[in-house]
Structure 1
Amino acid sequence: MKTRRRPYSEQRPTDLGGGVWSVPVPIPGNPLGYTLVYAIESPAGPVLIDAGWNHPDAWLALRDGLASLGVDVREVRGVVVTHFHPDHAGLAGRVREESGAWIAMHEADAALVRLMREFGDGPHRDFQAGMLRRAGAGAVEVEEVTANRPSPPALPDRELRDGQLVDLPGRDLRAIWTPGHTPGHLCLRLQDADRLFTGDHVLPGITPHVGVYPYDRTDVDPLGDFLLSLEKVAGLGELEALPAHEWTFPDAAGRAREIRAHHEEKLTDLAALLAEADRPLTIWEVAERMTWNRPWPELSGMLRGMAAGEAAAHLRALEARGVVRRTPEPESQEAAPESWTHAGTEPVRFALHS
């Protein structure tokens, strides 16, 4: 699906009605352009959904954007972070410094933030480098992907679980756990207005990146998590979607079904690719042969690393269905890259109920 995403320069803070506002916050140097931060009005003060990237220009955009809508950032009661990525959680700590607001996120992402802050970026960088080498990446790609990582976000004050009511007096805002993009990704359902803040889980024009989780085990299935989370959203009924990127749209459930169908098709294509290969392939070789939004030689090292992560996630999902297998086995500590081959079984397609 082609996007209708407008550049950041054309975005404006917007009153969406029903006591909800959106503020575009720029992401420097990122083709996504901006994060849509939402503010929800309550008698006790507004609560933000996400906060944006930690950068001076982003902070000014958030502060001034809220002010243009009549919201003083010093009055913010809390920040619910949909997931720990820097374009969502980066400014949460700054908002807390200015207003004394609490920060909340799902307990699974909170655990990752604690690890990052306790041990610094070194272990995460080493983990990522090891995953890339095991995927078959070269030294240049490993260095490019692991260099210049942003600082970890602020620790949350509160941890949310699936179905938990958010502290927003006078409103009914509930956490919906939707793992896949991250292990603790949250959507937030505003039940008194039939709205769903979808974070990066359901976007109108693009599909979110689903790779391997930070510090994860090789038997974890992020794409499987993501597909189940899409089914969960599809089961919520017809809700207006307020995503973290691009634009709002009327039917979160319908778009969830579209994204699920996209990944099922991608899984079928990947199974066929391995069935036709004359030898086992590394994750990097699989990624080179998959279809992306531009030819492989035109992708930067960073984008190739992300593509390899997506390839790994799709391979793990097929492995969970018994369609492909890997060598060496997941428990092996050998330095040799993993190789993947077709297991000789037919792909299983999982239908998403309407």
Structure 2
Amino acid sequence: MTSSQSGPVHDHGGGVRSLRVPIPDNPLGHTLVYVVDTDRGPVLIDTGWDDPESWDTLADGLTACGTSVAEIHGVVITHHHPDHHGLSGRVREASGAWIAMHAADTAVVRRTREARPERWFSYMTAKLTAAGAPEEHIAPLRTPRPRALPGLSPALPDRDIVPGELLDLAGRRLRAIWTPGHTPGHVCLHLEETHPAQLPGHGRLFSGDHLLPGITPHIGLYEDPDDATVTDPLGDYLDSLERVGRLAPAEVLPAHQHPFPDAAARVRELLTHHEARLTALRALLAEPLTPWQLAERMEWNRPWEQIPYGSRNIAVSEAEAHLRRLVKLGRAEAVPGSEPVAYIALS
């Protein structure tokens, strides 16, 4: 373990190191940005939040690794969220590096760059109204005040990550595994090389937010104001979990918290957790509930009254993702003629 001025740099062996890049005002604390040596120079897996302290930490960490931002050859992004993709544009400006992302998340980035804020506010107003949100929650969206929000001008990637294919990293075998759920284009990256400590299993897995050692990633709806397709993000996530479990990597290198072994055991824990949650939500639907009413009754990490405004929107999205899964499984249905639409359990 070595340290830079702003935080530790951890050497995972085999030409892989990690930097703890801070996320301002967030309980997660930091994003683990991985530095992977290749024959053409270092490649980053994720970059961290676009913030001056985060940038300084990234730059200082790369210096402590014996390199610099200017020497970065490429950037591989697990998914488009700002704590992963935020600094990609600055890295590319400083180094000329390419940026790679799955096409489904690149589409989100492109839409974010092109959409006017008014379009997003009107979409959220309609969405929350349909979910049964009270007027006092919706009212601020009708008269939005201009404000700076993170991630409104994310860097447009210039390479596609193709599921199942090796990335173009000279001297390394890094294969893309498409793991939708947390986002439509989330990818894990399987380093198909012998573990440097000879741990049993098949290489190492950079898991992004898909597989974390102690927390469950948010699974909400894939937000696209111009797409009426009824998606099933939770179903996508559960399918993706099983696929990752079958890889049986020797070690998982996640984007938050800490590395851990036995991916299959963690996958089983998460599958069990989501099945228990679906069962509990089905019990709540003994009476008809709108998505908002369901979110109010779900178990969160704090009472509903203490959940901030923006987090309530996320909670409702997660409730809707679970409702879609219950409907698809034949365990619940929409109540005909209900307005806003309510759902009830099927026996």
TM-score (norm 2): 0.89
- Residue 234 of structure 2 aligns with an amino acid whose one-letter code is L
Question: CA RMSD of the aligned region, Å?
Answer: 2.0
CA distance in 2: counterparts of 1:139 and 1:169, whole angstroms: 56
Residue in 1 that maps onto 2:345: 342
Measure how far apart 1:15 and its partner are. Answer: 1.1
CA distance in 2: counterparts of 1:124 and 1:195, whole angstroms: 39
Residue in 1 that maps onto 2:24: 28
Residue in 2 that maps onto 1:317: 325
- Out of 210, 231, 237, the position equivalent to 1:226 is 237
Residue in 1 that maps onto 2:200: none
Distance 1:250 1:313, change over 3 A: same
Measure how far apart 1:144 and its partner are. Answer: 6.8
Does the 8 A contact of 2:205 with 2:249 survive in 1?
no
Q: How many residues align?
A: 328
Distance 1:144 1:161, change over 3 A: farther
CA distance in 1: counterparts of 2:168 and 2:184, whole angstroms: 22
Secondary structure in 2 aligned to 1:188?
Answer: strand
Does the 8 A contact of 1:117 with 1:152 survive in 2?
yes
Distance 1:43 1:130, change over 3 A: same
Moved more, 139-148 or 240-249: 139-148
Secondary structure in 2 aligned to 1:197?
Answer: strand
Moved more, 78-87 or 109-118: 109-118
Distance 1:325 1:312, change over 3 A: same
Secondary structure in 2 aligned to 1:42?
Answer: coil
Does the 8 A contact of 1:21 with 1:38 survive in 2?
yes
Secondary structure in 2 aligned to 1:17?
Answer: coil
Residue in 1 that maps onto 2:47: 51
Cα deviation digits, residues 195-229 of structure 1 (max 9, x gap): 00000000111000000111153621000000000
TM-score (norm 1): 0.88
Structure 2 unaligned regions, length at least 5:
195-202
Cα deviation digits, residues 96-154 of structure 1 (max 9, x gap): 00000000000110111111212244433432332222112234434678875322311
Runs of 4+ in 1 over 3 A off after TM superposition: 139-149
Cα deviation digits, residues 24-71 of structure 1 (max 9, x gap): 111111111111100100111011000011111111111111111212
1:204 aligns with 2:213: yes
Measure how far apart 1:338 and its partner are. Answer: 2.1
Structure 1 unaligned regions, length at least 5:
1-8, 345-354
Alignment of structure 1 residues 130-145 onto 2, 5 Å: 130-142=126-138
Does the 8 A contact of 2:6 with 2:60 survive in 1?
no
Residue in 1 that maps onto 2:86: 90
Secondary structure in 1 aligned to 2:32?
Answer: strand
Does the 8 A contact of 2:6 with 2:56 survive in 1?
no
CA distance in 2: counterparts of 1:130 and 1:152, whole angstroms: 24
Residue in 1 that maps onto 2:149: 149
Does the 8 A contact of 1:200 with 1:208 survive in 2?
yes
Does the 8 A contact of 1:124 with 1:214 survive in 2?
no
